[in-house]
Structure 1
Amino acid sequence: MTAPDPSQQPYRFPIAARYAGMASSPLKDIFALAAREDVVSFAGGIPDPELFAVEDVTACYDWVLQHQGHRALQYGVSEGELELREQAARRLSRDLPTDASQIRVTSGSQEGLFVIAQAMLEPGDVVLVESPTYLAAVQAFGVHGARMIGVDTDDDGVIAEALEEAIRTHHPRMVYLIPTFQNPTGRTMPRARREAVAEVLRRTGVPLIEDDPYGALSFSGTSWAPIASLPGMGERTILLNSMSKLMSPGVRIGWMRAEGPILDTLAVAKAAISMQSSVVDQLTVARYLETADLDTHIARVSGVYRERRDAMARTLTPVLPDGAHVTHPEGGMFLWAALGEGFDAQEMLADAVDSGVAYLPGWSFFADHADRSTMRLSFVTHSPTVIEDAIGRLGEVIAAHPRR
């Protein structure tokens, strides 16, 4: 038998084992669904572009290019531009005393997760996460060889006793939590739960990665200080923030707040990944934080999002099967629906898309023991009228998939 001639075969690059079989990803699929004009997509946490403060942002870019143009178009430093680090420290100091030296700038908090994984994780390390948790965090940690283990949650977030038991059993490298308006569930940990979690982490010595991209988007005006602000937690927490949900996701600017020697390691890891974040974008965000009324903008956006949450909640609840559970977030971008045993949200998705509505099946947010009856729905992109019509169609799809 003649051996195949390699020159006649389609060329295939070798793929690292960590990416084997990953021709697509839930995040890639989210944006593909969002781009379809024939589908009302609740799949992605994609801000309504009509709410962007375009004039303010334009003025800031113009000012930076006019007054700092040569610097803005040049290489920068891995730690981030000083003006931006000072503005980030000023905002964080409302709850947690912070100076610019404790800030490391990233290209959105998603890069921050990758930088942390690069700096802290070895293959085989355990990371404890909420069950469910942010799917792209699972990906960022997983491609570095970490093993994610989900910790039980309730409507107040991660359960402190379950966290302590998981630490005792699995000896994790770190714990990753989203305490405020969590992605995907929208849940918020009350202060008493935050204190209980902090007490466990202080006693066991396990570091916390606290992700807070949504915390400013409160529907009631109530704010929740990060776990990092509790006694003894600032030194053992890396706190991530992002401007993506507050200013513009297209700008891709976020930051990490940490203390001690880990700051140098984070800067080295950042340099290895991307050298530095866009200088022109950093300086523009710094100018925006200095001159624009961000708090008024956030209040306006949060008011719109609250109306859209209400429209989705009142329309969704009646079309769900008996025994289903829906979260009622106090802020952020997401509702989480668990249809209950016997339903598979993944199996329903194709019919939902055919009906012109999309959501994200919840199984992808679980590190382990996925609940396939769950779905995440983002309410921020569309008007109440569009939401109500699309949820009506989704209800018809659910009704056509009876409990098994």
Structure 2
Amino acid sequence: MSEQQPNDRLQCRWVKPLVAGAGPRYVQIADLIGDAIRTGELSHGDQVPPQRILATALGVDLTTVTRAYGEARDRGLIASFSGRGSFVTSTEETAGEVRIDLSMNIPAQPSERSIANLALAAMEEVFKRQGDRRLSAYDTGDSNLSAIQAGQAWLRPAIGDLANGNLVMSAGTQAAIYAALQSTSQKGESVLCEPLTYPGFLLATRKLGLNAVTVKVDEHGATPESIEEMHRTTNAKVIYLNPTLQNPTTRTMPEKRRSDIANTLLKLKMTLIEDDPYWFLLNDAPPPLVTFTKGARTYYMASLSKCLWPTLRTSFVLMPVGEENNSFLESLRSSGMGGSPLLYGLTEHWIRTGVARQIVLEVQGEARARQTLARSILPKNACSHPSGLHTWLALPSNWNRQVFADTLEQRGIIVATSDAFSAEENPENGVRISMGGAASQSDLAHALQQISSLLMEDRRRTRTIV
């Protein structure tokens, strides 16, 4: 360790020499911080040394310490504030805990086998069948006819013969939503949505300069009367809806409501963007909205990353029936020239061989097991579906959602607050808990118990670090 001034030595009293060959130095430094917290040498609220002082003390360059502090922040050990420095946010009891990220809404992977290994085994067949030349080409979304035919077979249980229509593929639903908005709306126009909705949709509206305007909802979701009222008020031509296992509230719109909304949209000549990533996870899901509009003025989007495998960022998009869709296709291509031919090839292979259906069944089983676990631990007001990927938890009045999430993060648990989903200035006071983020059911049980215990505490005031 390098020569230090007395005050510097005091700040670095917990620091120990790094060990050559014991792993990356930035990881060792983050480990030192965690060890110091566990031994009580650093306590909650203590300031850790400025990066230059610690770099001098350890004889490393500044970038190594910068990276180490980033690693410590990722572990929930410290928090950094501009102009003030970095402070310990963890405690002796929580410093050794593994962070469990329940903020990303991904499908829980089956415990019995590795989907990654299934993918590796399938890749050889994909290369044999399609060849290196085809897999190296750009895919424009509508050029891979064999994959599109597989997609038609995949969607037929949900939308019937409509699947034979104008189907294309997209590198995930986010790109398709952006393309649909860009091709149907002009800057400054309004687009209707529910008060809490998919963050990717909200991001797209902001980037395109569109106004996301909310409609009223009840226990079944958006109401036809409110859609008609807001159409008259704002002259909105487009609405975005996620009617099955709505993200984040978990609502599933019943069949009668879907029929009524479809009739309203057809009467108003409005365009519908239907985002339907969870339909295949529900055995009792009502028919998609597109079946009631008969495909007219409707973009129907079905992602595979939510019901199969997060890495499979592939979405089938049914474009409006009886319309010229060049504008949408141009927007889709401008965002990245389609998706990966390799992923499209894997998608096609899994659908044609029946592997995709089998994975869905296994994901369903794992999701049910995790939701059963959640219902045994979380309070009764938590909203979920027995085979859904997430749970919506409305917080009691004594908890501010951001303070609740920040406190959980100190304890190694990450959830998503309603702010990320809100199209309004004052969102509901709640959090979304995604069941697939935990590596195992035991990790999930630990995280849910932390959440349940925290709900019993009273944190009316905003937490500060001094």
Number of aligned positions between the proteins: 363
Among residues 241, 262, 266, which one is paired with 1:198 in the alignment?
A: 262
Corresponding letter in the other structure for 2:316: W
* Match of residue 106 from structure 1: 170
C-alpha displacement at 1:391, in angstroms? 2.1
Q: Is the 8 A contact 1:198 1:233 kept in 2?
A: no
Among residues 243, 257, 265, which one is paired with 2:304 in the alignment?
A: 243
- The CA distance in 2 between the partners of 1:67 and 1:196, in whole Å, is 46
Do structure 1's residue 291 and structure 2's residue 353 form an aligned pair? yes
- The CA distance in 2 between the partners of 1:149 and 1:340, in whole Å, is 27
Do structure 1's residue 265 and structure 2's residue 333 form an aligned pair? no
* Match of residue 59 from structure 1: 121
* Match of residue 3 from structure 2: none
- The CA distance in 1 between the partners of 2:235 and 2:294, in whole Å, is 19
* Match of residue 275 from structure 1: 337
C-alpha displacement at 1:314, in angstroms? 2.4
C-alpha displacement at 1:99, in angstroms? 5.1
Corresponding letter in the other structure for 2:332: K
C-alpha displacement at 1:41, in angstroms? 1.9
Q: Is the 8 A contact 1:182 1:188 kept in 2?
A: yes
Q: Is the 8 A contact 1:81 1:283 kept in 2?
A: no
- The CA distance in 1 between the partners of 2:281 and 2:108, in whole Å, is 14
1:110-125 equivalences in 2 (<5 Å): 110-125=174-189
Q: Is the 8 A contact 2:106 2:305 kept in 1?
A: no
Do structure 1's residue 329 and structure 2's residue 385 form an aligned pair? yes
CA deviations over 1:67-117 (Å, ceiling 9, x no partner): 322211222334241111111122223333135551121101111112112
Do structure 1's residue 349 and structure 2's residue 411 form an aligned pair? no
Q: Is the 8 A contact 1:85 1:101 kept in 2?
A: no
C-alpha displacement at 1:189, in angstroms? 0.5
CA deviations over 1:349-378 (Å, ceiling 9, x no partner): 221111121211112211114325111011
- The CA distance in 1 between the partners of 2:234 and 2:251, in whole Å, is 25
Q: Is the 8 A contact 1:176 1:211 kept in 2?
A: yes
- The CA distance in 2 between the partners of 1:266 and 1:384, in whole Å, is 42
**CA spacing shift, 1:141–1:262, aligned 2, 3 Å:** farther
- The CA distance in 2 between the partners of 1:65 and 1:216, in whole Å, is 28
List runs of 5+ in structure 1 lacking aligned partners.
Answer: 1-31, 319-324
Q: Is the 8 A contact 1:129 1:151 kept in 2?
A: yes
Moved more, 73-82 or 272-281: 73-82
C-alpha displacement at 1:33, in angstroms? 8.5
Q: Is the 8 A contact 2:191 2:212 kept in 1?
A: yes
* Match of residue 400 from structure 1: 457
C-alpha displacement at 1:285, in angstroms? 1.0
* Match of residue 88 from structure 1: 151
The higher relative CO (CA closer than 8 Å, separation ≥ 6) is in 1
C-alpha displacement at 1:341, in angstroms? 4.2
Q: Is the 8 A contact 1:348 1:401 kept in 2?
A: no
Q: Secondary structure at the match of 2:196?
A: coil
**CA spacing shift, 1:263–1:216, aligned 2, 3 Å:** same
- The CA distance in 2 between the partners of 1:376 and 1:47, in whole Å, is 14
- The CA distance in 2 between the partners of 1:33 and 1:199, in whole Å, is 51
1:128-277 equivalences in 2 (<5 Å): 128-218=192-282, 221-230=283-292, 232-258=293-319, 259-277=321-339
Q: Is the 8 A contact 2:173 2:303 kept in 1?
A: yes
* Match of residue 137 from structure 2: 74
C-alpha displacement at 1:340, in angstroms? 4.2
* Match of residue 18 from structure 1: none
* Match of residue 44 from structure 1: 104
Q: Is the 8 A contact 1:186 1:331 kept in 2?
A: no
- The CA distance in 2 between the partners of 1:78 and 1:295, in whole Å, is 23
Sequence identity (%):
24
Corresponding letter in the other structure for 1:132: L
Do structure 1's residue 391 and structure 2's residue 448 form an aligned pair? yes
Q: Is the 8 A contact 2:97 2:411 kept in 1?
A: no
- The CA distance in 2 between the partners of 1:330 and 1:109, in whole Å, is 24
- The CA distance in 2 between the partners of 1:392 and 1:283, in whole Å, is 41
Corresponding letter in the other structure for 2:145: L
Q: Secondary structure at the match of 1:98?
A: helix
TM-score, normalization by structure 1: 0.83
When the two chains are superposed, the root-mean-square deviation of aligned CA atoms in Å is 2.3
**CA spacing shift, 1:80–1:109, aligned 2, 3 Å:** farther
- The CA distance in 2 between the partners of 1:389 and 1:71, in whole Å, is 47
C-alpha displacement at 1:200, in angstroms? 1.3
C-alpha displacement at 1:158, in angstroms? 1.4
C-alpha displacement at 1:39, in angstroms? 1.6
Q: Secondary structure at the match of 2:280?
A: coil
Do structure 1's residue 97 and structure 2's residue 154 form an aligned pair? no
